[in-house]
Structure 1
Amino acid sequence: MAAPIEDYALLSNLSTGPLISRRGSVDWLCLPRFDSASIFGALLGSEEHGRWLLAPSQPDAVVVDRHYLASTFVLETTWQTSSGQVRITDFMPVEEGRSSLVRRVTGVSGTVGLHQELRIRPRYGSVLPWVSRSRESGADLLLAMAGPDAWSLRGRHLPQPHHHLHAGEFVVAAGENVDFELEWFPSYRQVPPALDVDTALDNAVHYWTRWGGHCRQDGPYGGAVKRSLLVLRALTHYETGGIVAAPTTSLPEDFGGSRNWDYRYCWLRDAALTLESMLTHGYESEALKWRNWLLRAIAGDPEDIQIMYGIAGERDLPEKELGHLPGYQDARPVRIGNAAVSQYQADVVGEVMVALERLRLAGGKEDHFSWALQYALLGFVEKHFDDKDFGLWEMRGRAQYFTHSRVMMWAAFDCGVRAVRDHGLQGPLEHWKELRERLRTEIMEQGFNRELNSFTQTYGGTEVDAALLALPQVGFLAYADERMLGTVSRLEKELLTDDGLLLRYRTETGVDGLKPGEHPFLACSFWLVEQYARTERWTDARILMDKLVGFSNELGLLSEEYAVKEERMAGNFPQAFSHLALVRAADAMHGVDRLSLAVTETA
């Protein structure tokens, strides 16, 4: 059975992200990309669906330390046994074009027996590959093959075949290193040459340390901010610049339930928010790369814009269910692809426009392509001015007028106005002002309930939604505006759990078209921290922030949601949105200027 979500560590080579459990089992690995089919799928089933276990064989073995080396994704796990101590170093080489996972066993003291078990199961655990033993350059290797894909395992103590798996035992003495490298390559090509593990390890440490060293961060949450930015980098493809929402699919939002989604794709919203965070913390070149991914992904007829794309900008992401997988601790169905790709979400253009306006404020220059595309996007928003949508949370119920979506449409035109007025770009200034004002009037008339002194989730409704916390973030009104404070008061009454965490919305209303039940979405609580800090509710902000940061595992990783009573993480992991929201909240706590958009003069 899969381990608790919080027991997993993430590795990265800026192309994919395996998860390794605290007990030394690689239970999730998709090669060569985040969105490739898994070869290790025990995370969503059992060991029969693929895994790579490497751990001491003694029953008294315990993990006494597990950490990343400094600002890296090089994982060190130290085991203590009655006969000695051993350290396992797991990492992915960052050499361009190489897709491999390296596991080094180092004897620290005494002698320790190790057990290794390898089950390669391509196509999400549905295929049994052909495995053979061969010799390359004077060394033994295992070679597995299935259709277009092949995998090689190199090492001194290769496991032996045992009933459709490979297993083996070996002993490591103090001062001894035993290395293994599992590498993917196309089956129609030759086996790649052996890796120099020492050099690859040095290169990986150097890359991540150098990247993390550019991070501008301070204050009591500086460490959490740095690790969050590193996670965002780890979830970004080195070549395309696309950032996946998470490296996993179908980790449940409700244990045993059906709220299981594939997050291994690139949401425009996440990319835009990542751009903002990178700008704030000293990564201008990365911000420009993310901007270029955004522009390439949405290039073409604005009518064809999607809310998400594949890592390289692919558009076809059909959703299907994998019936052969029982799911994470029996949470069914397991899904690949995401049907939300076809939804109209009216907020997305606003998210993109806000991010690109902040890039302009930071000194980023527009070119003939980037501004022309934004101009066209505003035309798309105008064309769909009266259309209902499915909202930020990708509701699978009926389309409605979601207040947050309408505010983000307002923000899109606001950014267009600013682009012309403040940056000298060409556009119909007065027309965009008119559309912006029409939206503001409409939102205040239909999205704000005067009797409740609160904005509402949908026009004419009475329910609230944590997404409303974004209103001051984009300059629609001030954080301390009485109408915003009234909304916060209702959020606290309606959506704050007994444990002090904020739900997205009340699922029992049926607004999302799914069975009720989910745990608090961590990003929402981080948004509440930001709101508290910006209105100088420092005690409330600090208490909530400390609680949220405390939900991170010992490696600083966060999932999508947290089940407080069960004291465990829920949802896909690690989740970019959670780490993005952590950075925003910490910036508010530190008083960091995020190049925020001032409240417009029409407020």
Structure 2
Amino acid sequence: MSTTAIADHALLSDRHSAALVSRAGSVDWLCFPRFDSPSVFGRLLDDVAGHLEVAPAVAEDATTSRRYVDETLVLETTWATPGGTLVLTDALATGPSTDPHALGSAAPRLLVRAAECTAGDVEVGIEFVPRPEYGLVEPLLEGVPGGVVARGGGDVLVLSCPVPLAVANGSATGVLRLHAGERVLLGLAHRSTSEAFPTPWGAAELDTALRDTVEAWRTWSRAHQSYQGPWRELVHHSGRVLQALTYQPTGAVVAAATTSLPEGVGGERNWDYRYTWVRDACFTLEALWVAACPDEAHQFFDYLAVSAAASVRGRDADLQIMFGIGGEHDLTERTLDHLAGWRDSRPVRVGNGAWSQRQIDVYGELLGAAHQLFDQLNPDHPGAGAWREFLVACADTAARRWRETDQGIWEVRGEPRHFLYSKLMCWVALDRAIALAEPLRADAKVEGWRAAAAEIREAVLTQGWSDTAKSFTQSFGSLDLDASNLMMPIVGFLPADDPRMLATIDAVADRLTDERGLVYRYRTEGGVDGLAGEEGTFLLCTFWLARALAEADQVDRARAVFDRAATYVNDVGLLAEEVDESTGELLGNFPQAFSHIGLVNAAWAISEAEQRVASGAPR
């Protein structure tokens, strides 16, 4: 069982895969060669599932600090020990890149760890405990000149190390002493068993790979990041995190880097988030429009049009709500019963059963992102015909299916319902399709789309509002609140100062928050969503509240809510999905794209509202 706090980890990414590094210098999570590959280090979910640790051999009296190298996702961890100071620099190598739109295209599948003594003397301990296939495999380890080779489970891992390591019981360990000014580099390279037998990297090669990675991230940041509003550094850093969660070969965006980090300690709400949800990816593209730039829009829409083609074209079917990062459709869920889970939170799952759910809101998120980014979607692009036909088909499906029940944005595993948010987003799909009718070459469809949008609007206003709850509610005929209804003014369905919208905003702020003022998605008491147990407050929803308040020009309240949520970034600026209501600890998969998306968009909305209020301009 792993007990290290989720917030004690930092993210590394080469835009193919991701690693999480603890404050103790342990790589507790690493999947090669893709985000969704089986882990080779899985200590995050069970102490016996593998790790690679580089840290002071005696760290009990050390103080630790961390930071990312400016404008990068290259991590520096510094230990000040009684005998000296050790600085560890970690990166998943991106390969060299002078093209800011090709970050990670030449990634060599290499983790680089550079340990430098900057003062005094430090003994450095090294523990290499590879456990491929989520800890199922104890590989064969062999010492070779310049390092150690581990083979097993289809993976070949080569640890480059400047000192001999003792090999025993599927592990390699050693200690080296560094004096002030001395620096050593370690590297972990991955190959499959079908590739040529690899050899360890030399120190000069590793140093070049590290410097190339710093420069590649800086090239991307400087070319993309121009936001100058409030919380500038948080917004820019969140933009890099979202880029880090993007799979470079296809443009697919993973919801998070991990699987099965729980929404409640010891509970069953543990899901695999290493896939692309249409909803999350579209929200990410919109956030990148603020925090970076949308030049990657073409790649994503090409990926999605190809991946989802069979979902909406050629047969009467729904758009599949999520895909593998290579475009895979079948994401069948299974449990890994040999793993204890983070703090004994079982089951540990891989795959995600939500892939087969109906969630009709996705049409709105998709058309919404296309509308916002349409200037970047060149109609002469070779793939333009495919995504144009795809978007028209999505609008048609929203018009046809909006009256049906679904599992909703929160993917409930209980009975399907008429969720208000799902209806709202079908309206968004049609509203944006109408606005894009000319470039989509769909003028003949506008009349039908407009009629369907009017029907949805009437249904939401009459069946989604409750005089008893004094709020728009989670589903038609319900009295339950749902934070997703805060999106109503954000997407332009109602102005934020409409009395019904103001009442809904206040209802969420007053009755759907914890003692800290953080927002729940909805109340889970009594297993209303088909699952046992409770969950924490949801950071995205808290940022939605800040954004809705900004839309209503309640800037001071919006700032207060934003600051409240932003206090939960960890020491290197990362957010998980939720916050434990009793302890204030981060919960859920990590880092979570949704949370960083919420931060970016709320900061931008508050910036816009402040300018609007200061100028006296109308909303």
TM-score (structure 2 length as normaliser)? 0.92
Query: Which of 475-484 and 248-257 deviates more?
Result: 475-484
Query: What residue number does 2:219 align with?
Result: 210
- 1:278 is matched with which residue: 277, 284, 288? 288
Q: State the Cα RMSD in Å.
A: 1.9
**Distance change (3 Å), C-alpha of 1:470 and 1:59:** closer
**Distance change (3 Å), C-alpha of 1:94 and 1:281:** same
Q: What does 1:40-119 correspond to in 2, within 5 Å?
A: 40-46=41-47, 48-95=48-95, 96-119=106-129
- 3-state secondary structure, aligned to 1:263: coil
Query: Which of 28-37 and 366-375 deviates more?
Result: 366-375
* Pair 1:143 & 2:152 matched: no
For the residues of structure 1 that align with 2:610 and 2:131, how far apart are their CA atoms? 48
Query: What residue number does 2:210 align with?
Result: 201
* Pair 1:327 & 2:344 matched: no
Equivalent pairs, count = 589
1:217-256 CA-partner distances (Å, limit 9, x unpaired) = 1233111100101000001111111110001001011011
1:14-37 CA-partner distances (Å, limit 9, x unpaired) = 111100100111111111111000
For the residues of structure 1 that align with 2:198 and 2:362, how far apart are their CA atoms? 42
- 3-state secondary structure, aligned to 2:133: helix
* Pair 1:293 & 2:303 matched: yes
- 3-state secondary structure, aligned to 2:44: helix
For the residues of structure 2 that align with 1:399 and 1:119, how far apart are their CA atoms? 45
For the residues of structure 2 that align with 1:280 and 1:57, how far apart are their CA atoms? 44
1:303-324 CA-partner distances (Å, limit 9, x unpaired) = 2621110011111111111111
Query: What residue number does 1:163 align with?
Result: 169
What's the CA shift for 1:283? 1.2
Q: What does 1:534-553 correspond to in 2, within 5 Å?
A: 534-553=551-570
Letter of the 1:385 counterpart: W
Query: What residue number does 1:21 align with?
Result: 22
* Pair 1:512 & 2:526 matched: no
- 1:471 is matched with which residue: 475, 488, 500? 488
1:548-591 CA-partner distances (Å, limit 9, x unpaired) = 11110111100000125313110000000000000010001111
Letter of the 2:42 counterpart: G
- 3-state secondary structure, aligned to 2:127: strand
Query: What residue number does 2:350 align with?
Result: 336
1:105-148 CA-partner distances (Å, limit 9, x unpaired) = 1111121111111111011011111111223xxxx321111142
Report if aligned partners of 1:2, 1:42 keep a CA contact under 8 Å in 2. no
Letter of the 1:554 counterpart: D
Letter of the 1:26 counterpart: V
What's the CA shift for 1:60? 4.1
**Distance change (3 Å), C-alpha of 1:368 and 1:153:** same
What's the CA shift for 1:64? 3.7
Report if aligned partners of 1:310, 1:317 keep a CA contact under 8 Å in 2. yes
* Pair 1:528 & 2:545 matched: yes
* Pair 1:584 & 2:601 matched: yes
* Pair 1:250 & 2:240 matched: no
- 2:359 is matched with which residue: 345, 355, 367? 345
What's the CA shift for 1:421? 6.2
Query: What residue number does 1:493 align with?
Result: 510
Query: Which of 209-218 and 388-397 deviates more?
Result: 209-218
Query: What residue number does 1:133 align with?
Result: 143
What's the CA shift for 1:169? 1.1
Query: Which of 457-466 and 126-135 deviates more?
Result: 126-135
Query: What residue number does 2:4 align with?
Result: 3
- 3-state secondary structure, aligned to 2:118: strand
What's the CA shift for 1:361? 5.5
For the residues of structure 2 that align with 1:444 and 1:537, how far apart are their CA atoms? 24
Query: What residue number does 2:182 align with?
Result: 176
Letter of the 1:249 counterpart: T
Query: Which of 105-114 and 192-201 deviates more?
Result: 192-201
- 2:414 is matched with which residue: 386, 392, 397? 397
- 1:153 is matched with which residue: 155, 159, 171? 159
For the residues of structure 1 that align with 2:3 and 2:296, how far apart are their CA atoms? 35
Report if aligned partners of 2:140, 2:170 keep a CA contact under 8 Å in 1. no
For the residues of structure 2 that align with 1:123 and 1:304, how far apart are their CA atoms? 33
For the residues of structure 2 that align with 1:281 and 1:59, how far apart are their CA atoms? 38
* Pair 1:317 & 2:331 matched: yes
For the residues of structure 1 that align with 2:161 and 2:61, how far apart are their CA atoms? 23
For the residues of structure 1 that align with 2:509 and 2:59, how far apart are their CA atoms? 48
Report if aligned partners of 2:268, 2:533 keep a CA contact under 8 Å in 1. no
Query: What residue number does 1:374 align with?
Result: 391
Report if aligned partners of 1:235, 1:244 keep a CA contact under 8 Å in 2. yes
- 3-state secondary structure, aligned to 1:42: coil
What's the CA shift for 1:45? 1.0
What's the CA shift for 1:365? 3.7
Query: What residue number does 1:599 align with?
Result: none
For the residues of structure 1 that align with 2:533 and 2:141, how far apart are their CA atoms? 45
For the residues of structure 2 that align with 1:393 and 1:322, how far apart are their CA atoms? 24
Report if aligned partners of 1:152, 1:191 keep a CA contact under 8 Å in 2. no
For the residues of structure 2 that align with 1:2 and 1:191, how far apart are their CA atoms? 36
What's the CA shift for 1:264? 0.5
- 3-state secondary structure, aligned to 1:15: coil
Report if aligned partners of 1:118, 1:159 keep a CA contact under 8 Å in 2. no
For the residues of structure 1 that align with 2:21 and 2:310, how far apart are their CA atoms? 40
**Distance change (3 Å), C-alpha of 1:432 and 1:187:** same
**Distance change (3 Å), C-alpha of 1:475 and 1:172:** same
Structure 1 runs not aligned, ≥5 long = 595-603
Report if aligned partners of 2:509, 2:545 keep a CA contact under 8 Å in 1. no
What's the CA shift for 1:91? 0.8
For the residues of structure 2 that align with 1:19 and 1:54, how far apart are their CA atoms? 13
1:275-320 CA-partner distances (Å, limit 9, x unpaired) = 1122234513123322222222212340262111001111111111
Report if aligned partners of 2:519, 2:542 keep a CA contact under 8 Å in 1. yes
**Distance change (3 Å), C-alpha of 1:310 and 1:330:** same
- 1:415 is matched with which residue: 403, 426, 432? 432
- 3-state secondary structure, aligned to 1:150: strand
- 3-state secondary structure, aligned to 1:124: coil
- 3-state secondary structure, aligned to 1:78: strand
Report if aligned partners of 1:325, 1:334 keep a CA contact under 8 Å in 2. yes
* Pair 1:191 & 2:200 matched: no
**Distance change (3 Å), C-alpha of 1:105 and 1:301:** closer
Report if aligned partners of 2:539, 2:578 keep a CA contact under 8 Å in 1. yes
For the residues of structure 1 that align with 2:59 and 2:365, how far apart are their CA atoms? 52
TM-score (structure 1 length as normaliser)? 0.94
**Distance change (3 Å), C-alpha of 1:564 and 1:273:** same
For the residues of structure 1 that align with 2:440 and 2:399, how far apart are their CA atoms? 22
Report if aligned partners of 2:29, 2:42 keep a CA contact under 8 Å in 1. yes
For the residues of structure 1 that align with 2:262 and 2:468, how far apart are their CA atoms? 38
What's the CA shift for 1:157? 1.5
For the residues of structure 2 that align with 1:37 and 1:146, how far apart are their CA atoms? 13
Q: What does 1:33-44 correspond to in 2, within 5 Å?
A: 33-44=34-45
For the residues of structure 2 that align with 1:83 and 1:347, how far apart are their CA atoms? 58
Query: What residue number does 1:574 align with?
Result: 591
For the residues of structure 1 that align with 2:20 and 2:153, how far apart are their CA atoms? 25
For the residues of structure 1 that align with 2:277 and 2:474, how far apart are their CA atoms? 22
Report if aligned partners of 1:275, 1:291 keep a CA contact under 8 Å in 2. no
